[in-house]
Amino acid sequence: MEDLDLDVSLPESVVVVEWGEGRFEELTEDRLQLVIHRAVGDTTDEVRHVSLTGVGARWATVDLGALSA
């Protein structure tokens, strides 16, 4: 992570990290955490459920539920 210098331009950037849980939370106090859930072992159903969570003061008053409407 240090080699990428992600923290240098973070306030002006969008960073998407796949499989980043437990690794990139310290980059910023304010972030959107998107998790895609899939039923384990179910290869016939390709349905995914997405959860979006705002973390930090920036997202405290944002209604993210409006995105699912």
- Residue pLDDT, tens place only, 15-35: 777 777 777 777 778 888 888
Q: Report the share of the chain in percent with pLDDT over 70.
A: 71
Asked if pLDDT for residue 40 goes beyond 80, the answer is no
Report pLDDT for 10: 66
Model-level pTM? Answer: 0.62
Between CA 11 and CA 9 the distance in angstroms is: 6
Provide the pLDDT for residue 4.
66
